[in-house]
Structure 1
Amino acid sequence: MKPSNTLDALPPINRGMVERLDKDAFRKTIEVLAAKVAPQRTGSILRAAPLQSCILDLPRVPSAARAPDGDRLVLLRVQQEDDLPRQAKDFLDEEKLSLVVHKLELTYDYWTANDIISSVLPEELVEEAPSGFAAVGHIAHLNLRDQYLPYKHTIGQIILDKVRGIKTVVNKLDVIQNKFRVFDMELIAGEPDYIVEHHETECTFLFDFTKVYWNSRLHSEHGRIIELFKPEDIIADVFAGVGPFAIPAGRKGCGVFANDLNPESFKYLKLNVTKNNVDELVRPSCEDGKDFIRAIITRALDCPMPPAAPPMSKTQKRKALQQTKHSQSCGQSRGSSSPSAPTRTRVTQFVMNLPDTAILFLGAFRGLLSPVNVGGRDLSGLYAEMPMVHCYCFTRELEPEKAAADIRQRVEHELGHSLGDEVSYYHVRSVAPSKEMYCISFRLPREVAFEA
C-alpha cells in the first residue's frame, strides 16, 4: 500500500511573464517527514523493504540528507505520520527511529524547461505548449506558433538556462521561400552566434546556420541511407548541402560527387570535406542540379575515383588516418588503395534531397547514358546494372498506399516511363498536418537512361 497523499513539487504558477523572466519567483518549500538515523545505517534503512513505498522519489532530489547534528535523514514522501502505511510505522518503531520534519527548498534551478514554461504561459496555452526544439550545435531552433510569439523571449531564456550546451536560441520566421532552402530566423535569447560545429554520424560539420539548410531531425534518415551504400559505390549527391550524406559516405570509402547550388553550402561543403579527411573521395561542385545530373556520368569517366579500399576495422582506420595526417605534415602526397586495383568510373547511386522539388529534376535522367550525352561512348556494358535513385518528396496523402501511388505517378510522369519492380517507399517524417515526407528509392529504368 502506497501513501495516500502526493507531494506537490510543481513550480509556483507565475502566468503572464511576457517581457521578463523573474527567476526569484520560482521558489517553493516542501515539508516532508524524515527518519533520523546514524550515518552508518543510512544505506540499510534506505533499502529496507517496509519503507520502499515511502522513500522520497522526487527527480534530482537525494533520498537522504545531512542533519544539523551530523546524523542522516532518510527522507519520506509523506508530510504527516498518519499517512505512513502500517508496516512502515511498525518498522520505524522496531528500529527506534525518530521522525522529524525536513524542509526541501526548491528553486528555479530545480525544475525542467517544460515545468517552467507551463507555469508562465496562460492556462489556455499550456496543453499544447512548445516542448521540443531542434538542436544544431550550440543553437536551439524553435518554430513557434503565432499564439506563443508574445512569450518567445521568455521561452527562449528558459531553454537557454535549462539546456546544457545551448548558447543561442532562434525562432523560425517563415516558410522556406528561396531556392537555397534557407529560412529567416530571429534571435530570441542568447548570443548572436550562428557559426555551428555540429556532430553527426561520427563526422563534424561546420556551417553558418543562417545561410545554409540543415535539419537535425533528419539525422536518422542520413544514417539509413548511408547504410545502403557499399564502400565500392560512387554516389552522386545532387543537393548535397554541407555534406550530411556525402561526407559519411566518403568516410565509408565511397567515391562521392557532391553538388549544391548555394554558394554558401558549397563553401562549407569544401571546408567539411577537408575537416573530415575525405578530400580524396568527395568532390564538391556548385551548379544547377539538372546540369550536375547530365554531366556526372562523363565526369566519373574522365576523372575516375580512386580504387575502393579493402574493408578495415576501426583500429585499422584510425591507424590509416594517423598515417595520412603524418604524410601531410611531412609534405608527402596522400596514398590511396593498391595501385593495381581498378579505379572507379560507374555512378551507382543518386541522392536527391530536395523534397519540395526534387521530383521535377528527374527529367534530367532521360538520355543520361545515351552516346549523345557522353561524348559518343557506348556505356551499355559498363552500366549493365543501372544506378539506384533515392529521391525525397512531399505528399498530401496520409495513407501509405495512397502516398505511394501519388509519388509513383509523379515520378513516372517526369521520367516519361514506368518504374520497374525495384521500388520502395520510406516514410521519413510528418512535416505538418497533411504534409508527409517520403523517400522513394528506385532502380533507374534502362529505357529512360539510354533514351535517344
Structure 2
Amino acid sequence: MSEGISKQLVLPKGRGFGLKDGVLDKDAFRKVIPVLAAQVPAEKAGILLKAPALKRSLIDVAKVKSVARGPNQDRLVLLKFTNEADLPPEALSFLHSESAELVSHELSFDYDYWSTDEVIHAILPEELEAGAPSGFAAVGHIAHLNLRPEYLPYKHVIGQIVLDKNPTIRTVVNKLDNISTQFRVFSMELLAGEPDFVVTQSENDCRFTFDFREVYWNSRLHTEHERLIHKFDKDDLVADVFAGVGPFAIPAAKKGCAVLANDLNPSSHKYLTLNIAENRVGTFVRPFCEDGREFIRRAFNRAWDDPLAPVPLPKISRSEQKEIRAGQRPAPAPGPRRNRIGHFVMNLPDTAILFLDAFRGVLSRANTDGRDLSGLYDENSMPMVHTHCFTRELEPEKAEVDIRQRVEEKLGHPPGEDTTYHWVRSVAPQKEMYCVSFRLPPGVAFGS
C-alpha cells in the first residue's frame, strides 16, 4: 500500500475522537479514499491480477477486494496508488499494452471496517492507550470484561464497541469486584446489549445452561476439564465434590462414567440438574446439594448402599441385532452396578485443600455405621483425589513443597510417592493454579 493510503487509514487518536457528548459517533469513523484502478473488460481482469509486472502495484488493503465492478460490465482492478505518476514504469507499460484505462475509484471505509482495538484506541486519550482493554472472556452470548478503574469513564462506550464488533455477543458485562461470596460468584454490571444472563455454553461435546450471575464458570478451564476427564476410565465411579453446573461430571458421564455430583450453591444445583437432563446422562449422574465435607463423608456409604448404573453397553450393529433375534448369538448383558469410587474431583481452588480433613476416618466403622468396606478398598484400589488449589510460589519446585505441606497438614498424613502436581494456569502476577493428584492413603481413610 502506498504511504499516502496508509496514512489515511490510520484513525486519529486523542481525547474525544469518535465521541459526541460521551456517546459513540459512528459517522466520525467514515473515510473515503480515492485510488487508481485499471478498467478492463471482465475477461481481462484475471490477466492483470496474475501479471508479474503488476505484482507490487495491486492494492493490499485488508478486507478490500482487488477487483470491483465498473461501468458496462467492465472490471476495475484496484491499484495501491492514488496518482498515475506513482506507478512503476513496468506496471504502466503493461497496462498500456493491455489497453487498460486508468480511472479514479473511491474506497469507502465506515465504522464497521475498523477492528475493536482500533476503535477503542481511537476513543481513548493518549495516556490510556498503552493498557487499553484488548480482549474479553466469552461465555455463551455474554462478553465479560474486567476493566481497570481508569477505563470506567469509557465503560459503556467500550461495551458498545465490543457488542458492535462481535456478532455472536448480545450482552456485555463488567466485573465489579473479586470473587468473595460463599458460592464464588461476582457482581457485574450491564455495559451494553440485552439484560439476558442465562447462557448456553458448549464444551467437551456437552451443552451447559446457567445464569452467569448466579454460578461460577470459567471458560479458561476447558483444557483442565478435558485433561482430568481423560484420566477417567469409562467404568469409573467419580465423586465430584464441587461440581458447579457440571463441566467435569457431565462429560465424564458421556464417556461412560458414573458420577456423584455435588454443589452447595442452590443455583448451581438447579442448573446441574437441568444440564444432566438436557445432555441425557440422568442414568449415570446423581446430583446433590450439600456441604462439601458432608458429601465426602457420605459418598462411600451412598455408593455402597445404592450402586450406580453399570457401564453402558456397546452399540451393536443391525446385523448383530438380527443374529440376537434369531438366537444365533446371546444378547449382551449389562455389567455389575458400580459401588467403588475411583476418583474424587475437588475443583474449588481457593479452599479445596481445607476440605481434605473430611477424608480422615471416612472408611472407618464409625463413619460407615458398621459397614465393612475394607474388601472394596485396599492399598491398590483407594480412590485418586484431584484437588485444585492456588499457590503464591512461582517456581514449580517451591510450589510443590508449599502444596504438599498444606495437603499433609489437612490429611494428617503425607501424600504418596505417586503424587503429581499439574500446573493449570497463572491466575494473577503472583498467583498460580495447580491440581495436586494423589491416591487416598488407607491410613487416613481407615484411621480414627
When the two structures are superposed, what TM-score results if normalisation uses the length of structure 1? 0.90
In the alignment, the residues of structure 2 paired with residue 225 and residue 311 of structure 1 have an alpha-carbon distance, to the nearest angstrom, of 23
1:87, distance to aligned residue in structure 2 (A):
4.2
In the alignment, the residues of structure 2 paired with residue 299 and residue 39 of structure 1 have an alpha-carbon distance, to the nearest angstrom, of 76
Partner of 2:351: 357
Q: Are positions 1:292 and 2:295 aligned together?
A: yes
Per mean C-alpha deviation after superposition, the further-off stretch among 75-84 and 422-431 is 75-84
1:348, distance to aligned residue in structure 2 (A):
0.6
Per mean C-alpha deviation after superposition, the further-off stretch among 301-310 and 168-177 is 301-310
* Structure 2 letter corresponding to 1:370: S
* Structure 1 letter corresponding to 2:156: H
Per mean C-alpha deviation after superposition, the further-off stretch among 23-32 and 236-245 is 23-32
Residues 376 and 90 of structure 1: CA distance in aligned 2, closer, same or farther (over 3 Å) = farther
The answer to whether the 8 Å contact 2:13/2:126 transfers is no
Residues 443 and 53 of structure 1: CA distance in aligned 2, closer, same or farther (over 3 Å) = farther
Q: Are positions 1:254 and 2:254 aligned together?
A: no
In the alignment, the residues of structure 1 paired with residue 114 and residue 284 of structure 2 have an alpha-carbon distance, to the nearest angstrom, of 48
- Gapped runs of 5+ residues in structure 1? 317-336
Name the SS for the 1:287 alignment partner.
Answer: coil
1:249, distance to aligned residue in structure 2 (A):
0.8
When the two structures are superposed, what TM-score results if normalisation uses the length of structure 2? 0.91
Give the alignment of 1:366-445 within 5 angstroms. 366-384=360-378, 385-445=381-441
Name the SS for the 2:233 alignment partner.
Answer: coil
Name the SS for the 1:243 alignment partner.
Answer: coil
Give the alignment of 1:155-166 within 5 angstroms. 155-166=158-169
Q: Are positions 1:180 and 2:183 aligned together?
A: yes
Q: CA RMSD in A?
A: 2.1
In the alignment, the residues of structure 2 paired with residue 77 and residue 427 of structure 1 have an alpha-carbon distance, to the nearest angstrom, of 49
1:338, distance to aligned residue in structure 2 (A):
5.5
Partner of 2:6: 7
The answer to whether the 8 Å contact 1:7/1:78 transfers is no
In the alignment, the residues of structure 1 paired with residue 105 and residue 345 of structure 2 have an alpha-carbon distance, to the nearest angstrom, of 62
In the alignment, the residues of structure 2 paired with residue 209 and residue 102 of structure 1 have an alpha-carbon distance, to the nearest angstrom, of 49
1:31, distance to aligned residue in structure 2 (A):
2.2
What fraction of aligned residue pairs are identical, expressed as a percent?
Answer: 59
Number of residue equivalences: 430
Per mean C-alpha deviation after superposition, the further-off stretch among 266-275 and 64-73 is 64-73
In the alignment, the residues of structure 1 paired with residue 384 and residue 336 of structure 2 have an alpha-carbon distance, to the nearest angstrom, of 22
Partner of 2:328: none
Partner of 2:224: 221
In the alignment, the residues of structure 1 paired with residue 84 and residue 419 of structure 2 have an alpha-carbon distance, to the nearest angstrom, of 67
1:51, distance to aligned residue in structure 2 (A):
2.5
In the alignment, the residues of structure 1 paired with residue 311 and residue 430 of structure 2 have an alpha-carbon distance, to the nearest angstrom, of 43
The answer to whether the 8 Å contact 2:388/2:436 transfers is yes
Moved over 4 A (4+): 2-6, 310-313, 337-340
1:437, distance to aligned residue in structure 2 (A):
1.4
The answer to whether the 8 Å contact 2:5/2:33 transfers is no
The answer to whether the 8 Å contact 2:312/2:334 transfers is no
* Structure 2 letter corresponding to 1:398: L
* Structure 2 letter corresponding to 1:360: L
The answer to whether the 8 Å contact 1:3/1:85 transfers is no
Residues 86 and 361 of structure 1: CA distance in aligned 2, closer, same or farther (over 3 Å) = farther
1:267, distance to aligned residue in structure 2 (A):
0.8
1:404, distance to aligned residue in structure 2 (A):
1.9
* Structure 1 letter corresponding to 2:10: L
The answer to whether the 8 Å contact 1:11/1:28 transfers is no
* Per-residue deviation, residues 38-86 of structure 1 (Å, max 9, x unmatched): 1112223223333233322222211111123431111122333444445
Per mean C-alpha deviation after superposition, the further-off stretch among 138-147 and 39-48 is 39-48
Residues 378 and 111 of structure 1: CA distance in aligned 2, closer, same or farther (over 3 Å) = same
Q: Are positions 1:451 and 2:447 aligned together?
A: yes
In the alignment, the residues of structure 2 paired with residue 359 and residue 310 of structure 1 have an alpha-carbon distance, to the nearest angstrom, of 37
Residues 357 and 86 of structure 1: CA distance in aligned 2, closer, same or farther (over 3 Å) = farther
The answer to whether the 8 Å contact 2:14/2:126 transfers is no
Partner of 1:208: 211
In the alignment, the residues of structure 2 paired with residue 383 and residue 441 of structure 1 have an alpha-carbon distance, to the nearest angstrom, of 18
In the alignment, the residues of structure 1 paired with residue 305 and residue 195 of structure 2 have an alpha-carbon distance, to the nearest angstrom, of 45
In the alignment, the residues of structure 1 paired with residue 189 and residue 31 of structure 2 have an alpha-carbon distance, to the nearest angstrom, of 34
Residues 73 and 241 of structure 1: CA distance in aligned 2, closer, same or farther (over 3 Å) = same
1:220, distance to aligned residue in structure 2 (A):
1.8
* Per-residue deviation, residues 369-417 of structure 1 (Å, max 9, x unmatched): 2232223233333223221111111111122222222112211221111
Give the alignment of 1:126-205 within 5 angstroms. 126-205=129-208
* Structure 1 letter corresponding to 2:310: P
* Structure 2 letter corresponding to 1:297: F
In the alignment, the residues of structure 1 paired with residue 422 and residue 147 of structure 2 have an alpha-carbon distance, to the nearest angstrom, of 28
Q: Are positions 1:34 and 2:28 aligned together?
A: no
Partner of 1:327: none
- Gapped runs of 5+ residues in structure 2? 319-330
The answer to whether the 8 Å contact 1:12/1:25 transfers is no
Partner of 1:330: none
Picking from 56, 61, 64, the partner of 1:61 is 64
* Per-residue deviation, residues 291-346 of structure 1 (Å, max 9, x unmatched): 10111011111111111124559x99xxxxxxxxxxxxxxxxxxxx9554111111
The answer to whether the 8 Å contact 1:367/1:450 transfers is yes
In the alignment, the residues of structure 2 paired with residue 29 and residue 4 of structure 1 have an alpha-carbon distance, to the nearest angstrom, of 16
* Structure 2 letter corresponding to 1:440: V
The answer to whether the 8 Å contact 1:4/1:83 transfers is no
Name the SS for the 1:109 alignment partner.
Answer: helix
* Per-residue deviation, residues 101-121 of structure 1 (Å, max 9, x unmatched): 221110001111111111101
Name the SS for the 2:73 alignment partner.
Answer: coil
In the alignment, the residues of structure 2 paired with residue 219 and residue 85 of structure 1 have an alpha-carbon distance, to the nearest angstrom, of 53
* Structure 1 letter corresponding to 2:15: R
* Per-residue deviation, residues 209-267 of structure 1 (Å, max 9, x unmatched): 11111111212221222222111111111101111111111111110111000011111
Name the SS for the 2:427 alignment partner.
Answer: strand
The answer to whether the 8 Å contact 2:32/2:106 transfers is yes
